[in-house]
Structure 1
Amino acid sequence: MMAISLRLPSSTKPAARRPAFDRPHLGDILAPIARAAAANSALVVTLALLAALCGLQALALLRAPAAWLPAAITVKLAQGETVALGRHELAAPQADRDHLSLRRDAQDGWTVRNLSATRQVVLLRDGGDQRLGSTPLAAGQRFQIDGALFDVRAADSGSIAFARDGHEWRYDGAVLYRDGHQQANCPESHLASKVLSLWNRAMPAVLTISRPLSFGGNLHCDNRLGLAQVTPGAALISRGNGGLQLTAGNPDGDRAAVLVHGAGSQIDLRKQEASLAGVKAIVVGHTRFQLETDGGQLTLHPSRHVSMFSAPDLKLPEHVSWQWQQRALWAGGQSGAIWAGIAISLACMAVALALAARRPLSASRVAMLLAAGGVLICGVVALISQRAGYAPSAACSMALAACALMLWLALPGRLTLVTAAGVVLLAAGLLSQLELGLGAPESSWLRYYQKSAAMLAIGAGLGGLLRLWAQHQAARGAHLQQRSIEWLLALFAAVALAALAAQVLWGDEQGVFDLQPVELAKLALTALTAHCLALRFNWHAGPHTLSEHGTRWLQLIAPALLFLALLGLSLVQVDDFSPLILLLIWSTVVAFSYALAARNRKLAGALIAMALTAAGAIVYLRCTGTDDLIRWGFYADRFLVWLNPAEHPHTGQQLLLGARAIADGGWLGADHWLGLRSLGLAAGGAVQIPAVQDDFAASFFLNRHGLVGGLLLWAAQAAFLAGLALTAARAYQSGASARDFRHAWSGRFRYFALCGGGAFVLGHFLLSWGTNLAIFPIMGQPMSFLSAGGSHLLFFLCPLLAFSAISAQSSEGE
């Protein structure tokens, strides 16, 4: 019986094993894939859209026509000869027609003179920079502006004292004093100018904000030294190159002579000639040239802002010759190292996904950690290479951006509407920037796309590391203490305030050190406000003594400091009212989210009424015209241009060109194929719109892809905002149902932070679309995801995407 029982299984084994050796059918393979696709339909749709947009970028690169630019410009002169060079000969699109004069003297030395009345020529030496038309002043010298002669009594790197007609003048780089007293404000001075004047007078020299001293006009006021019969701005003294420099201004009308007398010589700054001995590079109209001299031959190697041509054929003067090179889109810079990093990162992502399917979560997290770190390193290398003048190729930047977007989707966790819409918007924005870079007749336009790709990689890498760290902490059950969170928020606020101060002290409206600290300040303001509002909901459960309540009040009003700092920066540093409108939109949305959370119907109704009133005011201004706008002073010009741009063709050029580009685009784009036929080809007249890569990026997008493409973009933007609102609502419900203070505070904090971040994004959308479609007066704010705003992408959008993903995961975990 035992033998029989053993034989029976052996006889049935071949029949049982036969299916394992059968040839698999196509249906057996497709069925699991179909089930996986049905279970992850949102991911499949997102991947399909991402693949389509990245494919369009690759197609644009493939279809881009050959473009040629000079690799070297050679000038050959005999001794004593002179040649004038300008926009045509130097391939410098932002130079004047005759911009500079080169001369070879009898000793085989080369000298240069600036011929332009409005644009500078900068000589770069190892010891510093020299702007032609400017010079430092020293004690004992005399300088003359037209017929007015001044004696320099004392001068150093920080201040200068001079005299004329019995009056003593002193200027410290920020404030002008006449006979020891600061001058009164000019009659037309705006509030920002008056506040800045008070600041400079009260603060020590190291904290003052640089303001130039202007010569000309008939009135002594503020930092203006009036001179009869001299055009305002005929000469300037300002900080620069480590000290105070006298510069020949660019006044409208007749050009006044600016002379410097000293040591038996006389220099006419408007005709200043400088030797090229020791000069390493020269900047002409934003185009930089590396110099090489060899006797009678001078070679200039142009970089940045170089004109491109469809064929290597151009008629040049007899003394000038070019060495041509073709634009490289597939190789260049540090592309090799970045390509290797991209391949390693993608391999790590694939390994992480494969391990996650088999459930060894720790190994999967390590592989994904390596992938995020690889993307981060590639982004840093790409950004540094671009800053050093060796930008990676456009194809390499495209692959880097695609890898960064894939990282967002590959990170563990459920795909949310915010992440899906954000990835699609980022890919669409990169496509638009690439089209603009390929279609512009200048080499520097691609740098916007390359910078955005590098910033996206850095932001995605940092965001990925943060998400993985948050998941690791949640798996361990470890949480930051409340006091530690408050210290981190305080440190964040301090860094943001320091960055804003750096922009005020050393930067301008465009930022400081090629960054926009205001984006970091907006993020800090959102986080700090969310923390304080989350604490406000638990106010009555806290301390009851007066001193402890005072401490808590300080915590709750802390965001006011950042808000006032941003408000002050808007008034002082930015000659525009768009930051004020942006802060107003943010304040309204945050207050409305608080009203909803507190179930305060009166406050919610008042905010809705205020929003409707603002919309009615815009319609009223459109209908009533411009009769009463003159008395508005500071903002009158912008409203006048907005209401009647045809009557202000110069100041309304941006609005008129944008409207023309949108009209040319129509419903299906300028090519009538939603931009598919014009991929990679010339951008046409839309590239002439001022700030088309930033404030008017939407005008270029509508010109290229038509109103149908604009409607699709609006749908994606609406999905992104809706996703933020849904994630915020889940966070609030999680906090409302929590049974302990930490979970309750966490839910409320995530709710208010997401509402605040969404408010800023909504403000950017509204202001940018309103500007491009002439709904609002021109206001300079980039459109989130679409414009080439590297700081906005790195310091605000990427952190917001990472925080929304972490918040969604926390809501599910709780």
Structure 2
Amino acid sequence: MTASNRTAPRNAPHRLVLRASLGQRFAGLLTDGLQALARAAAHNIGLALTLALLAGLCGLQALALLRAPAAWLPAAITVNLAAGDSITLGQRELAAPQSDRNHLSLRHDAGGWVLRNLSASKQVVLLRDGSDQRLGSMAMLGLQRFQIDGAVFNVGAADAREVSFTRDGHAWRYDGAVLYRDGSQQANCPESRLASKALSAWNRIMPLALTISRPLTFGGNLYCDNRLGLAQVTPGAAQVARINGRLQLSAGNPDGDRAAVLVTDRSDQSDLRKQEAALTGVNAIMVGHTRFQLTTQDDQLVLQPSRHVKLFSDPELKLPEQVSWQWQQRTLWSGGHADAIWIGMALCLACVAVSAGARGLARSPWTTRLADGGGLLAAAGMLTVGLIALIAQRAGYAPSAACSLLLGASALLVWLALPGRLTLATAAGAVLLAAGLLAQLELGLGAPESSWLRYYQKSAAMLAIGAGLGGLLRLWAQQQAARGAHLQQRTIEWLLALFAAVALAALAAQVLWGDETGVFDLQPVELAKLALTALTAHCLALRFNWHSGPQRLADHGARWLQLIAPALLFLALLGLALVQVDDFSPLILLLVWSTGMGMAYAVAAGNRMLAGLLLAGALMAVAGVVYLRVVGTDDLIRWGFYADRFLVWLNPAEHPHTGQQLLLGARAIGDGGWLGADHWLGLRALGQSAGGVVQIPAVQDDFAASFFLNRHGLVGGLLLWAVQAAFLIGIVLTAARAYRSGTAARNFRHAWVGRFRYFALCGGGAFVLAHFLLSWGTNLAIFPIMGQPMSFLSAGGSHLLFFLCPLLTFCAISAPSTEGV
């Protein structure tokens, strides 16, 4: 027997003992971690109170899931038609809430299935591999002639980018942004606003690739801007627009008025109002906002609905003889492809427990490395799990509501378990996040539609991503501080310059390819607000040490950043507010932010005159609101610009259509009373139907406060206001401590860091205050309707990920280690 063979049996027991010892140690660390959290909560009243509130709010979410009644929806809709037969389908047969009563016509011919759109105002989109077709529209490429009522237009040349046509001796050219008549751009319309005039000027001077798409409309009596007047034709009866990179002619306008639009191509002549399309090769269709996967076989057509499907309390419904449904029950506790999310959350929580347990043991290099590694793995794991959940939702395999509940709760626990003392801002922010998730879950469970839960699921995923990224930044900042390392001033300035460039590019993308709701399902304006605050804080921090830097300011390589970047971002945000948004809420946000930054500067500089002027301006704004309420609407008619919004605000009953949002919100708040619609602060209504509150437009965003007050009453609203006030006070306290540390510093860098944190926190707090003021003012009819989400409460994914999570991270980094709740 060789020496190696002789020693193997002797070493094997030692390996087994070592593995057992490691396993016991790991289990002991888990137990110690839980005990350490319990001891920390027992010795820290603020942490104990925060954990208790979070446990209560998460428990209410679980109770809402348990009490949610069973809901049913169709898994498949089967249509049986013999050859030559047809059927009309609509909202009832398709379970599509956003569709018309008679929305489309299906016909089964010998050659296959044929579909026609019957709706006057809502489109039907056919989805094929890599392309889509909107019924009621046709690409201008290949058209020879088109006719709108009696007006005939001869197409001279057309491609994907522009089209030229003639009528009555006039030559017209349209490039997707500008309409030219006989080679000249038309004048602005008499009622054109500043935004419309600015867009026209931009499109006139910029290359075609940088122009902002604007449709060409037919009808009315005016030749101006992008309007082509036609006598005795309803304005907007037809239009040409750039859609998916192609110019398309469409019949009808959003108000439902349609004119006869005849098109002649190389094959034949057809009426767009009666356009039919064969379903051969079609994979899916969009009817309203509901998507249907298609499967055809002989005399049978099967539609599988997804996204915005109506929910039913019982799996029974009287349907036409040719239509049958396959029912399925809504699932709240299980979802497809969620194993990775469950495993990831379990590992994150285990890492949190190990890190807390190691931190509670005696200090040694081994325990320190284990605590740091556990925190790092927990933050990175939470980021990964959040990304998986978000990607799965975007792919159509959203995690279950129960999975999202645990994901949000785990993200908050990881955030609180990271190293550092708990601050008032962090504690209040965590409670507000949990309250917002509860409100979104209640709305998702109470709405009679399958898609409302997506707001809750998206917010939970965004919170996990934000908590993971913020945790990594906090750990990195802690390590940098422990090592005494720091970034050079020039590196910081170039990082801020890159941040500004990214924000400006995102705003440009929204202007070019998006609308006021954002671009690519994101809101770049949230990132721009963060960049604007950071750049302005940098400039103001330098202002107090203008000549005390490591070198003369004139020799700085990034001098332009300190002078130009904040102004560029401010002007970009102002331009976006004027051009892209229909209300003036961004202007109010910028005004409140400017006032807050001015007040912060006045306090830091000891400028009492500036502080007095700002206070006087704020009092004048309050007086202006009271004045408008007292005077009424007589003087507003002469304003022209946004006058309709003020008229609706002052007398919503006289404008029942445009004032519907305000009237429904006021009714919901009135029904809530002091104790909620159920008279039990919403506890008896957990998981139950939300009733008519879901009919409020944008109730998940702008009017989330109306739903909250309806469900939990004014008492619940007062508690929410108290936590919001605590969050703002916490930011102010952290900012004041940062400023004092900056003024007490003895070198340039420490002074700059303290003042930068002070101004950045004041700017972030000013934006949050502006969101609170605008949202509460809109819901309570203090201000005219302005579309801004309420921080923490509304289902604003971009606002949560790009603004609130970075602000909370910066608060945690800026707070001194000795500060507690």
- Shorter-chain TM band: over 0.9
Pair 1:210-2:213 in alignment? yes
Counterparts of 1:356-505 in structure 2 under 5 Å? 356-358=359-361, 359=363, 360-505=367-512
Counterparts of 1:525-544 in structure 2 under 5 Å? 525-541=532-548
Relative to 1, partners in 2 of residues 1:558 and 1:255: Cα closer, same or farther, differing over 3 Å? closer
Q: Is the 8 A contact 1:100 1:114 kept in 2?
A: yes
**Distance (whole Å) between structure 2 residues aligned to residue 403 and residue 162 of structure 1:** 61
**Distance (whole Å) between structure 1 residues aligned to residue 77 and residue 542 of structure 2:** 65
**Distance (whole Å) between structure 2 residues aligned to residue 421 and residue 676 of structure 1:** 22
Q: Is the 8 A contact 1:231 1:251 kept in 2?
A: no
The amino acid of 1:79's aligned partner reads A
What is the CA distance between 1:138 and its match in structure 2? Answer: 3.1
Q: Is the 8 A contact 2:418 2:471 kept in 1?
A: yes
SS at match of 1:316: coil
**Distance (whole Å) between structure 2 residues aligned to residue 36 and residue 150 of structure 1:** 78
SS at match of 2:642: helix
SS at match of 1:112: strand
What is the CA distance between 1:361 and its match in structure 2? Answer: 1.9
Pair 1:729-2:736 in alignment? yes
What is the CA distance between 1:778 and its match in structure 2? Answer: 0.4
**Distance (whole Å) between structure 1 residues aligned to residue 221 and residue 755 of structure 2:** 60
Residues 49-87 of structure 1: per-residue CA shift (max 9 Å, x gap) = 000000000000000000000000000001111100000
**Distance (whole Å) between structure 2 residues aligned to residue 571 and residue 290 of structure 1:** 40
Residues 604-652 of structure 1: per-residue CA shift (max 9 Å, x gap) = 0000000000000101110110000011112101100100011100000
Q: Is the 8 A contact 2:548 2:748 kept in 1?
A: no
TM-score by length of 1: 0.94
What is the CA distance between 1:363 and its match in structure 2? Answer: 1.2
Residues 357-407 of structure 1: per-residue CA shift (max 9 Å, x gap) = 013222101011111111111100100010011100000000000000001
Please tell me the root mean square deviation across aligned C-alpha atoms, in Å. Answer: 1.7
The amino acid of 1:309's aligned partner reads F
The amino acid of 1:791's aligned partner reads S
The amino acid of 1:157's aligned partner reads A
Paired position in structure 1 for 2:72? 68
SS at match of 2:458: helix
Paired position in structure 2 for 1:786? 793
**Distance (whole Å) between structure 1 residues aligned to residue 358 and residue 267 of structure 2:** 82
SS at match of 1:70: strand
Paired position in structure 1 for 2:25? none
Paired position in structure 2 for 1:664? 671
Residues 433-487 of structure 1: per-residue CA shift (max 9 Å, x gap) = 0000000000000000000000000000000011011111111111000000000
Paired position in structure 2 for 1:51? 55
Name which of 93, 99, 118 aligns with 1:115: 118
What is the CA distance between 1:765 and its match in structure 2? Answer: 0.1
Pair 1:800-2:807 in alignment? yes
What is the CA distance between 1:603 and its match in structure 2? Answer: 0.1
The amino acid of 1:74's aligned partner reads T
Relative to 1, partners in 2 of residues 1:603 and 1:272: Cα closer, same or farther, differing over 3 Å? same
SS at match of 1:279: coil
**Distance (whole Å) between structure 1 residues aligned to residue 400 and residue 338 of structure 2:** 6
**Distance (whole Å) between structure 2 residues aligned to residue 601 and residue 729 of structure 1:** 18
What is the CA distance between 1:546 and its match in structure 2? Answer: 9.9
**Distance (whole Å) between structure 2 residues aligned to residue 251 and residue 429 of structure 1:** 34
Q: Is the 8 A contact 2:36 2:360 kept in 1?
A: no
Pair 1:90-2:97 in alignment? no
Pair 1:334-2:337 in alignment? yes
Paired position in structure 1 for 2:167? 164
Paired position in structure 1 for 2:589? 582
**Distance (whole Å) between structure 2 residues aligned to residue 140 and residue 685 of structure 1:** 47
**Distance (whole Å) between structure 2 residues aligned to residue 342 and residue 176 of structure 1:** 56
The amino acid of 2:197's aligned partner reads K
The amino acid of 2:343's aligned partner reads A
Residues 698-750 of structure 1: per-residue CA shift (max 9 Å, x gap) = 00000000000000000000000000000000000000000000000000000
**Distance (whole Å) between structure 2 residues aligned to residue 182 and residue 810 of structure 1:** 63
Name which of 264, 267, 270 aligns with 1:267: 270
Paired position in structure 1 for 2:13? none
Name which of 350, 353, 376 aligns with 1:350: 353
Paired position in structure 2 for 1:292? 295
**Distance (whole Å) between structure 1 residues aligned to residue 173 and residue 664 of structure 2:** 46
**Distance (whole Å) between structure 1 residues aligned to residue 400 and residue 219 of structure 2:** 49
Paired position in structure 2 for 1:183? 186
Q: Is the 8 A contact 1:138 1:152 kept in 2?
A: no
The amino acid of 2:304's aligned partner reads H
Relative to 1, partners in 2 of residues 1:126 and 1:631: Cα closer, same or farther, differing over 3 Å? same
What is the CA distance between 1:685 and its match in structure 2? Answer: 1.2
What is the CA distance between 1:547 and its match in structure 2? Answer: 5.6
TM-score by length of 2: 0.93
What is the CA distance between 1:267 and its match in structure 2? Answer: 1.3
Q: Is the 8 A contact 1:536 1:556 kept in 2?
A: no
Relative to 1, partners in 2 of residues 1:810 and 1:500: Cα closer, same or farther, differing over 3 Å? farther
Paired position in structure 2 for 1:10? none
**Distance (whole Å) between structure 1 residues aligned to residue 733 and residue 595 of structure 2:** 19
SS at match of 1:450: helix
What is the CA distance between 1:270 and its match in structure 2? Answer: 0.6
The amino acid of 2:348's aligned partner reads S
The amino acid of 2:179's aligned partner reads L
Name which of 704, 708, 722 aligns with 2:711: 704
Paired position in structure 1 for 2:251? 248
The amino acid of 1:432's aligned partner reads A
Paired position in structure 2 for 1:16? none
**Distance (whole Å) between structure 1 residues aligned to residue 597 and residue 531 of structure 2:** 14
Paired position in structure 2 for 1:12? none
What is the CA distance between 1:254 and its match in structure 2? Answer: 5.7
**Distance (whole Å) between structure 1 residues aligned to residue 558 and residue 347 of structure 2:** 51
**Distance (whole Å) between structure 2 residues aligned to residue 651 and residue 140 of structure 1:** 39
Q: Is the 8 A contact 2:376 2:475 kept in 1?
A: yes
Paired position in structure 1 for 2:608? 601
Q: Is the 8 A contact 2:348 2:379 kept in 1?
A: yes
Paired position in structure 2 for 1:645? 652
The amino acid of 1:227's aligned partner reads L
Q: Is the 8 A contact 2:599 2:611 kept in 1?
A: yes
Q: Is the 8 A contact 1:128 1:241 kept in 2?
A: no
Identity in percent: 79
Paired position in structure 1 for 2:149? 146
The amino acid of 2:163's aligned partner reads I
Relative to 1, partners in 2 of residues 1:228 and 1:353: Cα closer, same or farther, differing over 3 Å? same
Paired position in structure 1 for 2:261? 258
Residues 536-570 of structure 1: per-residue CA shift (max 9 Å, x gap) = 11114369989659974751342000000000000
What is the CA distance between 1:242 and its match in structure 2? Answer: 2.8
Relative to 1, partners in 2 of residues 1:353 and 1:321: Cα closer, same or farther, differing over 3 Å? same
SS at match of 1:153: strand
Residues 172-208 of structure 1: per-residue CA shift (max 9 Å, x gap) = 0000000000000000100000000000011001100
Paired position in structure 2 for 1:279? 282
The amino acid of 1:349's aligned partner reads V
Q: Structure 2 stretches of 5 or more lacking a match?
A: 1-34
The amino acid of 1:102's aligned partner reads L
Relative to 1, partners in 2 of residues 1:546 and 1:351: Cα closer, same or farther, differing over 3 Å? closer
Q: Is the 8 A contact 2:404 2:457 kept in 1?
A: yes
The amino acid of 2:178's aligned partner reads V
Relative to 1, partners in 2 of residues 1:230 and 1:394: Cα closer, same or farther, differing over 3 Å? same
Relative to 1, partners in 2 of residues 1:411 and 1:105: Cα closer, same or farther, differing over 3 Å? same
**Distance (whole Å) between structure 2 residues aligned to residue 691 and residue 224 of structure 1:** 31
Q: Is the 8 A contact 2:744 2:751 kept in 1?
A: yes
Paired position in structure 2 for 1:239? 242
Name which of 314, 319, 327 aligns with 1:316: 319
